[in-house]
Amino acid sequence: MGRIELNNHLKAIQAQNKKMFIPYIMAGDGGLDQLEDQLLFLQACGATAIEVGIPFSDPVADGPTIQNAGKRALNQQTTLQDVLTTLQTFKNKRNIPVIVMTYMNPIYAYGVERFAYTCATSGVDGVIIPDVPLEEDQIIMHALKRHDIALIRLLALTSSKERMKAIIERAEGFIYAVTVNGTTGVREHLHPSVKEYLQKLKQQSAIPVLAGFGVSSSEQAKELSAYCDGVIVGSKIVQLLHEGKQSVIRQLTENTISQSMKIT
């Protein structure tokens, strides 16, 4: 696909008033030989796109579940190069977008231009880099544009009106609306301001708005999807994959999609 195709893919789903569901997995958790089966399984479950995490030793945006998954992947000697090479081997079997989530340090070590090029050849459509703020995105943005890779931007609950506007204006693919003041992880209850926050984003954004961080059940997904275009589920998916509970993942995914699509 690529940046333009990713934009068109998501906007087409949005235009049909369908809700989106993006699961997150940690590449290398359980071994990289599992990555193809994991992605194709989630694709078969009906995922809109898949977010693939790259294990990193200092994952500042991640909570305990994803941190532990990253440690397991690092213990398997999983590297950025390994993940991208593995993604390349089965890119022709995928028919939904793949978005890589990583941090800037591994990209620097690998090489910014080389990273963007290898993402493109591996069938990666977008990247999420939590530790690259808007003011510093030039360190990666030009290389990504040259290779038609979208930079997916996160937007925090605490963002000012001015910052929200600036991020929305430069956003590609979708807005990643962070629904907690903290790291990733399962939450029993949502912050009271989340609904108003999502509504404001929807009013201002020309591209889809997806809610992430803390979404762990189809009920939460349905609740949030009433105010945006869909959800991203990470820690719960990672936990269930680690426990070998694919049937529960399928049920969660299908229930989330079916429930959210009933929202009018």
Catalytic residue among 29, 37, 62, 254: 62
Q: Letter for the amino acid at 95?
A: N
Nearest to 238 by CA among 187, 190, 184: 184
Count CB atoms within 10 A of the CB of residue 188. 8
- Dist CA 212 CA 69 (whole Å): 18
- Angle between the N-to-C axes of helices 64-75 and 235-242, in degrees from 0 to 180, rounded to the nearest 10: 50
- Dist CA 161 CA 140 (whole Å): 25
62 is catalytic: yes
51 is catalytic: yes
End-to-end alpha-carbon separation of the chain, Å?
A: 30
Catalytic residue among 51, 82, 125, 172: 51
Active site residues: 51, 62
